């Protein structure tokens, strides 16, 4: 790797170079790959002879890469874009495995810090003294959810009266009276007068008794269900407009990144 970093230095280790006034200092900006925040810019690896940034040194987020100790890697400037509005450095064309495998900056002549030494910068940088840049931004849609009261379900009970009929069997006594002719009444003493016989009559009465009996119960609970919904929004994007194409050099013939790499 010494050949890779030959003649290169960390910007923070130099005293004769600084970020151009019209360029953002990107040290301290978050670094994003796709939708994942992978760390932050700890420093810039610059080529003092060419006044160019060659690598962005990134301190990786330990949780994003399951690291047990601090690790820094160097990302080529050709693989990054700057989002000045969000203050983010976006890595393109590299997956998390590729980023984790990128080399660390080593320069025994100018760099006395070890790869695992802590560094907490509050700014970030780009080196340029021969360019004027116009950034392009666009809105991104971030969809989230929050709990909101959507109504309520009321469960109560009321009393209804139902008229019912039910057959029942009862017993009643009846008095039977029979008339029979009497023969051979001779010899009986007969007295003519008034007389009375009382015969008690018994019958069953229907007795009604009402009592409350539990017949059914409601089990009331709540559960969460997931449903898919589609949201719509209008996002604004900036586009570059060039007024005079005749005076513009075809940059495809001389590729150049946003951070100044040729």
Q: Does 209 map to a domain?
A: no
Query: What's the rounded Cα separation, in Å, for the pair 19 and 27?
Result: 11
Measured from the Cβ of residue 83, the count of other Cβ atoms closer than 10 Å reads: 17
Query: What's the rounded Cα separation, in Å, for the pair 27 and 15?
Result: 16
Is it the case that residue 229 has pLDDT exceeding 70?
A: yes
Q: 44 CB contacts (<8 Å, ≥6 apart)? A: 10, 11, 26, 27, 53, 55, 56, 57, 124, 125, 126, 127
Q: Does 94 map to a domain?
A: yes
pLDDT tens, position by position, 94-106: 989 999 999 999 8
pLDDT band, residue 119 (cuts 50/70/90): very low
- Average pLDDT on 76-85 reads 91
Is it the case that residue 79 has pLDDT exceeding 70?
A: yes
Specify which of 2-11, 53-62, 107-116, 190-199 reaches the highest per-range mean pLDDT: 53-62
Q: Does 90 map to a domain?
A: yes
Q: Which of 131, 126, 128, 137 is nearest to 24 (CA)?
A: 126
pLDDT tens, position by position, 159-211: 999 998 989 999 999 989 999 887 776 666 777 888 888 989 999 998 988 88
Q: Does 129 map to a domain?
A: yes
How many separate domains does the chain show?
Answer: 1
Q: Which of 29, 31, 33, 56 is nearest to 45 (CA)?
A: 56
Q: Does 239 map to a domain?
A: yes
Angstrom distances, CA of residue 51 to CA of 46, 157, 201: 7, 82, 130
Domain range for 127 = 9-144+230-247
Measured from the Cβ of residue 81, the count of other Cβ atoms closer than 10 Å reads: 16
CATH number, domain of 108, equals 3.90.50.10
Q: Does 167 map to a domain?
A: no
**Spatial contact of 119 and 43, defined as CB atoms under 8 Å apart:** yes
């Amino acid at each position: 790797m010494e050949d890779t970093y030959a003649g290169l230095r960390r910007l923070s280790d130099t005293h004769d170079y600084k970020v151009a006034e019209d360029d953002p200092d990107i040290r301290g900006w978050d670094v994003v790959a796709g939708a994942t925040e992978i760390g932050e810019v700890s420093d810039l690896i610059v080529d003092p002879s060419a006044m160019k940034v060659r690598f962005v040194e990134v301190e990786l987020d330990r949780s994003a890469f399951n690291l047990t100790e601090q690790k820094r890697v160097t990302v080529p400037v050709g693989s990054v874009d700057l989002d000045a509005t969000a203050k983010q450095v976006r890595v393109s064309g590299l997956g998390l495995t590729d980023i984790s495998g990128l080399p660390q900056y080593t320069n025994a002549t100018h760099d006395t810090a070890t790869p695992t030494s802590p560094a907490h910068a509050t700014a970030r940088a780009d080196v340029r003294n021969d360019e004027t840049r116009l950034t392009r931004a666009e809105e991104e849609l971030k969809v989230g959810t929050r709990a909101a009261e959507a109504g309520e379900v009321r469960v109560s009970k009321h009393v209804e009266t139902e008229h019912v009929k039910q057959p029942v069997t009862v017993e009643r006594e009846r008095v039977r009276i029979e008339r029979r002719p009497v023969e051979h009444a001779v010899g009986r003493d007969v007295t003519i007068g008034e007389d009375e016989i009382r015969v008690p009559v018994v019958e069953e009465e229907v007795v009604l008794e009402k009592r409350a009996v539990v017949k059914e119960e409601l089990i009331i609970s709540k559960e969460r269900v997931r449903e898919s919904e589609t949201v719509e929004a209008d996002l604004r994007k900036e586009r570059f407009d060039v007024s005079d194409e005749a005076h513009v050099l075809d940059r495809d013939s001389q590729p150049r990144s946003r951070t100044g790499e040729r």
